[in-house]
Chain A
């Protein structure tokens, strides 16, 4: 049982490049989330999904897009990367929309 898996683990982008982060969960969870983690700021919610085919904005959605075409996958896209998007990105999922979430191992993204 892999839980929540994120791909890739590390990435370096040049300003203006695009990329997609993939999150996959095998727990049949309805809810999935993308967070970014920055020093001293904790984790901030970027986007989330309450089920297949749905997405919603979180606290800091600007510059990101998401898609949930399949229940087990939640994709986070950066259309035109900026240095301010240098961060560690975490995906999470939960069975119900409550506080107990299961997290992926994180993706460290650097935009130069």
Chain B
């Protein structure tokens, strides 16, 4: 079964510091991975997907199949980046094709 692990529940950094939110996955096929973000009092929204190889709000994420990781990075954190971040994997499971979410990491950017 596919599984997504985010080892850090809370990550606290100072403004301007680099940020790396870790995501590891277990999946036997070719994964399709996403990062979702939930800002305070807002709904969960898609931040980026690995197939697009895009940079959104300064964030990037590279799929490393050898290490089965999809870490989210930003070189200089801003206070407005404070939010809950979820890594998610799309693929087949016992319940059909579905998004499997990690436990989430709360990022706090201090001034």
Interface size for A (C-beta < 8 A) is: 26
Within 8 A of B (CB), among A26-69: 33, 35, 40-45, 48, 56-59
Contact of B102 among A42, A57, A100 (CB under 8 A): A42
Which residues of chain A are within 8 angstroms of B99 by Cβ–Cβ distance? Answer: 33, 43, 45, 99, 101
Asked, given contacts A56-B96, A58-B98, whether A101 binds B46 with beta carbons under 8 Å apart, the answer is yes
Roughly how many angstroms separate A102 CA and B45 CA in the complex, as a whole number? 7
Bound CA–CA A41/B46 (angstroms): 19
CB-defined contacts of B45 to chain A, threshold 8 Å = 102-103
Interface residue ranges, B against A (CB under 8 Å)? 4, 6, 9, 32-34, 42-46, 49, 86, 88-90, 93, 95-99, 101-104
Binding site for B on A (CB under 8 A): 4, 33, 35, 40-45, 48, 56-59, 90, 92, 97-106
